[in-house]
Amino acid sequence: MNAGTWILIIVSVAIVIIFMLLRPRAGARKYPEVVQFILYDIKMNQALVDTFSRREKPKTFEHNNWEMYKDRIGFLTETQKDLLRETFGLVDEFNVVIKAAKKSKTNSYKNIDLSKFKELLDKCQKELEDWMITNTGQKDLPLKYPSIWSTLFGERS
């Protein structure tokens, strides 16, 4: 290869790297996605609560999305943040009991009182869905499929 080809390749790679580094970050546009991910955990936990007493083998409650996004909820009100922290605090407590019961192969997990937890889950769902309606006009986000352009250079709004 001659020098002209090498220069063209290096300049092309540099331009792509510069665009990737300078692309705008989503910021506030990502808030509805954070809310949707946390809502997924809440809805999953509601389904688990509904079937909890009928299960032969206990299943731990969901909190993966909460663990990923709990540091990114600064846009919510203090009341909403406290409600989420309390709810997922109970999730952690219940999961410890469930894991211990699984390990010891007992039914001690059936002694868990889920009434307060169910109320908290319902409140969380209502608060987050109200936030979605207020800020996006709908409860759920429409499905989006990324394009190659948005993957490389970021979305433009």
pLDDT (tens digit per residue) in 8-49:
888 888 888 877 776 655 555 689 999 999 999 999 999 999
Within a domain: 119: yes
- Asked if the structure places residue 1 within a domain, the reply is no
Tell me if 10 is assigned to some domain.
Answer: no
147, amino acid identity: S
Q: What is the tens place of the pLDDT at every residue in 47-96? A: 999 998 888 888 999 999 999 999 999 999 999 999 999 999 999 999 99
Handedness of CA 72, 78, 84, 86 (dihedral sign): positive
**Domain housing 92:** 27-142
Check whether 109 has a pLDDT greater than 90: no
Flag whether 75 is in a domain: yes
132 vs 29: which has the higher pLDDT: 132
Residue 66, judged by CB atoms within 10 A of its CB (0-12, 13-18, 19+), counts as buried
Q: How many domains, the chain?
A: 1
52 domain-assigned: yes
Lowest mean pLDDT among 58-62, 79-83, 115-119, 146-150: 146-150
